[in-house]
Amino acid sequence: MYVAVKGGEAAIDNAHRLLADRRRGDRSVPALTLDQITEQLAIGVDRVMSEGSLYDRRLAALAMKQARGDLIEAIFLVRAYRTTLPRFGHSEPVDTGAMLIERRVSACYKDLPGGQLLGPTFDYTHRLLDEDLEGDPQVETGLQRGGIQEPVMRVADILDQEGLIEDDGAIDPALEPGDINQTPTEFPMSRAMRLQSLSRGDEGFLLALGYSTQRGYARSHPFVGEIRIGEVDVDVFMPELGFAVPVGRIQVTECQMVNQFKGSAKAPPQFTRGYGLVFGQSERKAMAMSLCDRALRAEELGEDLVAPPQDQEFVLSHCDNVQATGFVEHLKLPHYVDFQAELGLVRTMRAEYEQCTGEAVLETREAAE
């Protein structure tokens, strides 16, 4: 149990002032602006938006600044702010097939309809520190062709033409997909609700689980069917008009993994899908999400459940870094009563142990004599 900490208000106020002082740092160094964070630390901003479950670059940058660069603390701040926002409606399903693509790669086919588009990526850098970045070097404008304007065929559609991949699944307009923010968690969860949890789950946790599936814990051998990054329209249905209208455009990363499936009594040998979709440019997270999504479909596909990534309750109950942070860091709070109770118990057990040990030694000596 917890007990109130009395007389600590002044200490807490001082701790807050010290935190603000350390956050500002050396006053001779110009303060960071939100524009600098948004433009130059964009990958971090995208992660905060994705796992904070709120698409707002300015608020994500503000949270990063307030948290002194601690991304999980920033995610916590954004998630807390999100709870204060009114819910006035929901958008129509986003059509990623109509995405204005900035980056598109596939590990399955070299020549794709619409072509491959590398875009901004670390994939081919040498991972050597660039000391020129210590200053403000002149940077050439990147050469690029215009984003792919017309919709392009997905790799999964190519396989589907031959009947070599499972159906993508029909959407029943009358069936609500569920909302993890409004519905208490019950297992087993639908795939739609699993994907919601994974999309805002901790990147590091999902990355470790996805890595484990490659090392034999789930018997998965995937191929990156396609990763695409770009902007999509968000449409909201207006009852007054009788149709949906675009209310904005957001950047997302989508990943479809293609996995071999040996077949079952209900399905022939074919490829199956793993899916990932996250805010911003976060392809590592989208890939990890798609690996976990495929692993969590094991029971649906008639596969044996042999590894943690296939266990819904294990994965979905522990992937949220806000919940994980709260539970782990609460151990710093006063547990004085609990500890005193356990301290008394350990002292009692220790006394009983020493008494029994002493009696055993005495009996041994008497037997020897």
pLDDT tens readout for residues 115-134:
899 999 999 999 999 999 99
Same domain, 102 and 68: no
What is the distance, to the nearest Å, from the Cα of residue 24 to the centroid of all Cα atoms in its chain? Answer: 29
Domain count, the chain: 2
pLDDT of residue 148: 52
Same domain, 243 and 297: yes
Q: pTM of this prediction?
A: 0.90
The structure tokens 């770009």 sit at 230
Percent of the chain with pLDDT strictly greater than 70: 93
Domain carrying residue 64: 10-82
Q: Is 176 part of a structural domain of the chain? A: no
Q: Is 70 part of a structural domain of the chain? A: yes
Same domain, 72 and 109: no
* Amino acid present at 261: F
Same domain, 108 and 229: yes
Domain boundary among 326, 343, 361: 326
pLDDT value at 1 more than 70: no
Same domain, 102 and 49: no
pLDDT of residue 2: 46
CB neighbours of 50 closer than 8 A, spacing ≥ 6?
199, 200, 278, 279, 280, 282, 285
In angstroms, what CA-CA distances link 41 with 34, 60, 84, 223, 295?
10, 11, 26, 30, 32
Same domain, 100 and 78: no
Same domain, 197 and 318: yes
Q: Which residue has the higher pLDDT, 206 or 182?
A: 206
Q: Is 341 part of a structural domain of the chain? A: no
pLDDT value at 293 more than 90: yes
pLDDT of residue 283: 96
Nearest-angstrom CA–CA distance, 78 and 64: 9
Q: Is 59 part of a structural domain of the chain? A: yes
Same domain, 110 and 56: no
Same domain, 238 and 214: yes
Size of the chain, expressed as the number of residues it contains? 369
- Most confident segment among 95-109, 142-156, 196-210: 196-210
As a 3-state breakdown, the chain gives helix, strand, coil percent values, each rounded to 5, of 45, 15, 40
Same domain, 249 and 321: yes
Q: Which strand (E) or helix (H) includes residue 259?
A: strand 243-261
Going by C-alpha positions, the residue among 276, 266, 275 that lies closest to residue 303 is 266
Going by C-alpha positions, the residue among 188, 194, 183 that lies closest to residue 292 is 194
Q: Is 242 part of a structural domain of the chain? A: yes
Q: Is 14 part of a structural domain of the chain? A: yes
Read off the pLDDT of each residue in 196-212 and give the average, rounded to a whole number.
97
pLDDT mean across residues, the chain: 90
* 92-106, 252-266, 269-283: range with lowest mean pLDDT: 252-266
Q: Is 196 part of a structural domain of the chain? A: yes
pLDDT of residue 295: 96
Q: Is 270 part of a structural domain of the chain? A: yes
Domain boundary among 27, 55, 82: 82
pLDDT value at 63 more than 90: yes
Same domain, 101 and 78: no
pLDDT single digits (tens) 3-31: 455 557 888 899 999 999 999 999 999 99
Read off the pLDDT of each residue in 240-244 and give the average, rounded to a whole number.
93
Same domain, 194 and 289: yes
Res. 360 pLDDT band, cuts 50 70 90: confident
Nearest-angstrom CA–CA distance, 235 and 225: 27
